[in-house]
Amino acid sequence: MDNLSADRFWLTAMAPPLLAIAQGAGIRRLQQNTHETIKRGTHPCQVEHSALLRYARGVSHKISSHVMIPSGQLTSVPVADIELDRDNPRIRKFLEMYGEDVTPEQIHLALGAGGDDTGAGGGTTFSKLKNSILTNGGVIQPIIINRTSDGRLVCIEGNTRVALYQEFLSEDVPGNWTEIPALVHDNLDEASADAVRLQVHLVGPRPWDPYSKAKYLHHLRHKEHMPFSEIIDYCGGTEIEFNRSITAYIEMEKYYRDVIPEDGKFDATRFSGFVELQKPGVKEAIYAAGFNLSDFANWIHTGKIYPLWTVRSLPSILKNKRAREAFLKHNAKKALTYLETPDTDKALENASLLQLARAMTSMLQTFSFTEAQKLKDDPSNEVAQSLFEAKEAIGDLIDFIESS
């Protein structure tokens, strides 16, 4: 791909939200410029924003080390000719629940009800996107389309925007909804399509919900056999994080789906409970107490484990007789009231974060191998669990400190 094509791809596919901010122009003006420059085949910000262009080239280089994405054409495409991407995790999840023969209206429901309205991960919610498009009379950021060898136009990025345009057309909403700005690629292979989805929805400005991310990671790892090293190159993160997410998806599908009645709803927002299940010591504690993962799935389904972060307290709850009884009779939140709150020395309570960090570092540097081995052999014990909680809290603070 030549530099101009790479610049155009990333500036049109990835950067417009940043470009809108960088320009300091009104949304309507940017939208007008976008439509005008479609006719010229260039992007309105292609020359102005050299810093953003360098960033776009950097991202493009990162992907091109694995996948060469062919150049696309920026144009307007009739909405009626566009097919929604059935490999989109939210759509695929819906198809698996209700079968392949679903109506466009049902697919629209899947896109609108796929966990978007939680606002988790900083992504734009379905309702906010709908209101924004109505307010501004259209979209600023072009969708990405793959024109297949048989001439089909499949939307690989921007399915929700296409679904909204189709909805506006069917409901005779005032406005021009017959065509939508699009970057059209000819006959993208699956690796190139995966690269687009990964960049936009796993680390980009419009992330999927956690369950959909894990579903797609599972597809890439177990269906496409993509190496972890390649996934990490695309998304960042670590192999441990991706393994936990994929395992959480597998176990939710295997155990949670089994406890849902035929007329019940598969609640993908419960996914975080299965992510917590992957923390060290949790499964061991469940099995040691005479339960299994089917029991765990049922606890999630019936609300015994709520809030979902209480999963990490299961080792302490299941080891404490009164807490365990309260958990089985009521829920985890009630069980936590029976756990002893450890007494802390006044000196510790009044210590600064600097003092605590130095004391912890000093203690760990002199910690014996024998004691460390004991914790490793029994990760569900109280000391190990407290260390896991401390690690998570410290990690969150460090991530915030290091964030730009």
pLDDT band at 27 (very low <50, low <70, confident <90, very high): very low
Residues 161 and 103 in one domain: yes
Residue 99 pLDDT: 62
| CA atoms of 200 and 144, how far apart (whole Å) | 11
Element (H, E) at 83: strand 82-84
Q: Does any domain span residue 341?
A: no
The yes-or-no verdict on residue 243 having pLDDT over 80 is: yes
The yes-or-no verdict on residue 46 having pLDDT over 90 is: no
Buried b (16+ CB within 10 A) or exposed e, 173-191: eeeebebbbbbbbeebeee
Provide the mean pLDDT of the chain. 74
Residue 270: closest CA among 261, 257, 280: 257
Report pLDDT digits (tens) over 355-397.
888 888 888 888 888 888 888 877 767 787 778 778 877 877 8
Residue 192 pLDDT: 80
Residues 258 and 185 in one domain: no
pTM for the full predicted model: 0.50
Quick one: tokens of 389? 């909680």
Residue 62 pLDDT: 41
Residues 361 and 330 in one domain: no
Residues 102 and 142 in one domain: yes
Least confident of 7-16, 83-92, 290-299, 328-337: 7-16
Residues 48 and 173 in one domain: yes
Supply the range of the domain harboring residue 376.
348-402
Q: Examine the fold and report which residue of 235, 264, 287 is the final residue of a domain before the chain moves on.
A: 235
Q: Does any domain span residue 243?
A: no
Give the pairing of strands 143-147 and 153-157: antiparallel
Domains identified in the chain, total number: 3
Mean pLDDT for the stretch of residues 8-35: 39
Residues 321 and 259 in one domain: yes
Contact 276, 313 (CB under 8 A): no
Residue 355 pLDDT: 83
Q: What is each CA distance from 309 to 259, 273, 303, 306, 331, in whole angstroms? A: 21, 7, 12, 7, 13
Residues 187 and 108 in one domain: yes
Q: Does any domain span residue 74?
A: yes
